[in-house]
Amino acid sequence: MSEPSPSAAPHLRRLFDLLADDAPAEALGAVSSQARGDGVAAGELAEVERATATALRIRGALRQHRRRELQLTALFDTAGDLAASRDLDDVLKAIVRRARMLLGTDTAYLTLPDEEAGDTYMRVTDGSVSLLFQRLRLELGEGLGGLVAQTASPYASPDYRTDERFRHTRNINAGVLDEGLVAILGVPLLLGSSRGGTGKVIGVLFAADRAPRVFSPDEVALLCSLAAHAAIAIDTARALADTTSALAELAEANAELAEANASVRAHSAAMRRAEESHDRLTDLVLRGRDVKDVAAAVAGLLDSPLTIHDPGGRLLAAVRPDGTGFAADSMDAGWLAEAAEESRTGARAVHREGRVVCAVLAGQELLAGLVLHRGRQLDDSDRRLFERSAVVTGLLLLLRRTVAETENRIRGELIADLLTDTGRDPAGLAERGRRLGIDLDRPHLLLVAETGARERLAPAAMRYLFGGGIHGVSAEHAGAVVLLIEAGGSGPAAGAAARSAAAQLGQLAQAPVTVAATGPARGPQELAAAYAEAARCLRAMRVLGRTGEGACVDELGFLGVVLGNGQDVDGFVSATLGPLLEYDAQRGTHLVRTLGAYFGAGGSLIRAKDELHVHVNTVVQRLDRIQVLLGRDWNEPDRALELQLALRLHLLSGTPDR
């Protein structure tokens, strides 16, 4: 009697143990070989091999998530390090060192413009061994770095020496060759950049390898994020250096002018108070505190109630001097925009109608407005403190937005998978959602938005969620932007949510935005079906001329009912207009278009022939042919209504008229 084949269970347990210990892929792959060597039966051996493949996929996904988590942590740590640095040299060295560490390259370096010479020069390097390379100077447009500075856009080359996209010069090629560099990635350090434009390039940050390498989009985005923080840190370090220089000049003047000693000491004390206050506010940012905590600190320092509003006037925080919150209304966006523009133009806080307003800027982009509620004006020291608090608030908002954008991009991958292949693994999608903080089993509203200014819609959707405190996620899909928003117990219905989103997205994108909404729905299957219904609703709104509005299927009347219930629209159109469609397809005629023009003209042959740009006899001949194909009752009220509905649905289907 033959002995039974060994069981596959020990090998499956071995897979779990290796997965838990984060073992290398080779160890996982060896399990199926071991099972085969132990004589596991063919059926169970196949299970072991499938389990091994699944374990390898899980290991890859876990490693990818860990890598993204490490990148986010490193990026946040970098922002903290840069914000805490005061010396410009220390800031530049920290930027280059962190760039090399984050991308794992052989070297990293940074070039800055020389305003007097009219070119750029190598300012800081990390990992460089060539003195010739460290002393390189580039004219605008020369080499990869010159093109980055000229276009304010990132460029990457897997092999710079053979890349014909860049203007090679003898000195640049010599420096690159002496350093042994092959693959180079360069990104601009921008000040004053916004979603709608390009700011001033204050330098170029590079990461380079001494072997061919293709830099992935994630690596380019990571270096761009670091460059964004670095540009702000460099600007802040320069401002602090200017402040330190001013303090030194004041101290010297204090020694030379004994009669003004008391005044200078008072001024220095005010500057120290402002600097200490700046340190206190910066510490709040580095400890991960909220905008409300910064508002409370500023309100206490200036002994006045303070509110913070987003560019649309929505309230972000309202705090009294004692740190307690209070109810405050949203601010008129026009009034806030005018006050912020005056503050931005004058580069200082402004007093308006019993309130002091300071714009919170990232270059020329308005992030928020600080509003101090007090009748009297601020003295110079308090004004400087208030203006410094706007800088710190801007840094906090930028950090939060960067983290939120990164998280939303990762979550957006889940939404893309949810809408493209729900039947593949519903349980897996739900589990991925839970790991990313999205509970797909809870009810959600699904919104689909589109606009003519497509490049501005995705950033506007991000600001809509982030700035409005809305718990949801957005992603670009099929030429539109999809928003998945958690539906609370007292939250708005689909139609109200669509109208609110259309209004606010239109304001943020500075263009009309059309939004269709469905839901609430829960679970991958329901959400995918909700997306399909919302897409049909959006197409119907487009045909009905409701551009720039928001609506749900239930608000589109009978067409909405047909679309929302998922009726067999194609079958209905084919059954009703089939003879005409077939006749047009075979003979290249225009009977369907003629019928639509006739009904659109209210049965008037004269208006119909004007619409079709043909002779009236041609219209009569075509209608006679339509009667032959459809029957004598085609123009009776009931039959005419059915034909008109089929014509409208045929138009909604997107099929071009023949």
Which stretch, 32-41, 129-138, 291-300, 490-499, has highest mean pLDDT?
Answer: 129-138
Burial (Cβ within 10 Å: 0-12, 13-18, ≥19) of residue 440 = buried
Task: Choose between 79 and 327: higher pLDDT.
Answer: 327
What string of DSSP letters covers 486-513?
E--TTPPPHHHHHHHHHHHHHHHHTS-E
- Looking only at the bridges linking them, the beta strands covering 513-521 and 550-552 are parallel
pLDDT band at 440 (very low <50, low <70, confident <90, very high): confident
CA distance 316 to 510: 21
How many degrees, rounded to 5, is the angle at CA 560 between CA 558 and CA 566? Answer: 110
User: Residue 137: is its pLDDT beyond 50?
Assistant: yes
User: Residue 393: is its pLDDT beyond 90?
Assistant: no
Which stretch, 273-282, 452-461, 624-633, has highest mean pLDDT?
Answer: 624-633
Say whether the peptide bond before residue 520 is cis (omega within 30 degrees of 0).
yes
CA distance 280 to 389: 10
Task: Choose between 569 and 263: higher pLDDT.
Answer: 569
Query: Which of the residue ranges 70-74, 227-231, 300-304, 419-423 would you say has the lowest mean pLDDT?
Result: 70-74
User: Residue 269: is its pLDDT beyond 70?
Assistant: no
Strand partners, 187: 205
pLDDT of residue 574: 81
Angle between helices 261-286 and 380-420 (to 10 degrees): 20
CA distance 532 to 277: 53
pLDDT of residue 273: 62
Neighbours of 347 (CB within 10 A): 9
pLDDT of residue 182: 93
For 235, 246, 547, the CA distances from 240, given in Å and listed in that order, are: 9, 10, 49
Task: Choose between 558 and 268: higher pLDDT.
Answer: 268
pLDDT band at 562 (very low <50, low <70, confident <90, very high): low
Helices (H), 421-453: 426-435
Cα 35 from chain centroid?
47
Mean pLDDT of 229-243: 76
176-233 confidence digits (pLDDT tens): 999 999 999 999 988 875 444 567 888 999 999 999 999 988 888 888 888 887 788 7
321-363 confidence digits (pLDDT tens): 887 877 776 677 778 778 878 887 887 888 888 888 888 887 7
pLDDT of residue 176: 92
User: Residue 640: is its pLDDT beyond 60?
Assistant: yes
pLDDT of residue 658: 46
Percent of the residues in the chain that have a pLDDT greater than 70, as a whole number: 79
587-618 confidence digits (pLDDT tens): 989 998 999 899 888 888 889 889 889 998 99
Mean pLDDT of 532-552: 86
The DSSP output letter for 526 is H
Percent of the residues in the chain that have a pLDDT greater than 90, as a whole number: 15
Q: At which residue do the structure tokens 């053979």 appear?
A: 162
pLDDT band at 142 (very low <50, low <70, confident <90, very high): confident
pLDDT of residue 111: 92
Cβ(457)–Cβ(451) under 8 Å?
yes
Task: Choose between 45 and 147: higher pLDDT.
Answer: 147
Residue 426, CA atoms < 13 Å, CB-side half-sphere = 10
Strand partners, 351: 356
For 151, 208, 367, 657, the CA distances from 189, given in Å and listed in that order, are: 12, 17, 19, 52
pLDDT of residue 156: 93
pLDDT of residue 272: 67
Which stretch, 18-27, 154-163, 377-386, 649-658, has highest mean pLDDT?
Answer: 154-163
- CA-based max dimension of the chain: 114
Torsion of CA 286, 292, 295, 297, to 10 degrees: -60
User: Residue 1: is its pLDDT beyond 50?
Assistant: no
User: Residue 563: is its pLDDT beyond 60?
Assistant: no
This prediction has a pTM of 0.40
Query: Which of the residue ranges 21-30, 225-234, 396-405 would you say has the lowest mean pLDDT?
Result: 396-405
Q: In 3-state terms, the chain is what percent helix, strand and coil (to 5)?
A: 60, 15, 25
pLDDT of residue 211: 93
Task: Choose between 188 and 79: higher pLDDT.
Answer: 188
pLDDT band at 392 (very low <50, low <70, confident <90, very high): confident
Average pLDDT, the chain: 79
481-521 confidence digits (pLDDT tens): 988 888 865 556 888 999 999 998 998 888 999 999 998 98
Instruction: Name every residue whose Cβ is closer than 8 Å to that of residue 420 and which is 6 or more positions away in sequence.
Output: none
Task: Find, among 72, 45, 353, the residue nearest to 225 by Cα.
Answer: 72
Q: Phi then psi for 104, rounded to 5 degrees?
A: 65, 40
Name the helix (H) or strand (E) containing 125.
strand 119-126
The encoded tokens of residue 340 equal 């912020």
Query: Which of the residue ranges 264-278, 312-326, 450-464 would you say has the lowest mean pLDDT?
Result: 264-278
Q: In what order do the strands lie in the sheet with 155-157?
A: 137-138, 119-126, 107-114, 200-209, 183-191, 155-157
pLDDT of residue 54: 80
Angle between helices 523-543 and 557-564 (to 10 degrees): 150
pLDDT of residue 657: 54
pLDDT of residue 501: 92
Mean pLDDT of 60-85: 60
pLDDT of residue 428: 73
The encoded tokens of residue 640 equal 């005419």
Mean pLDDT of 146-166: 90
CA distance 12 to 4: 18
What string of DSSP letters covers 80-99?
HHHHH--SHHHHHHHHHHHH
CA quadruple 492, 495, 496, 501: dihedral sign: positive
CA quadruple 253, 256, 261, 263: dihedral sign: negative
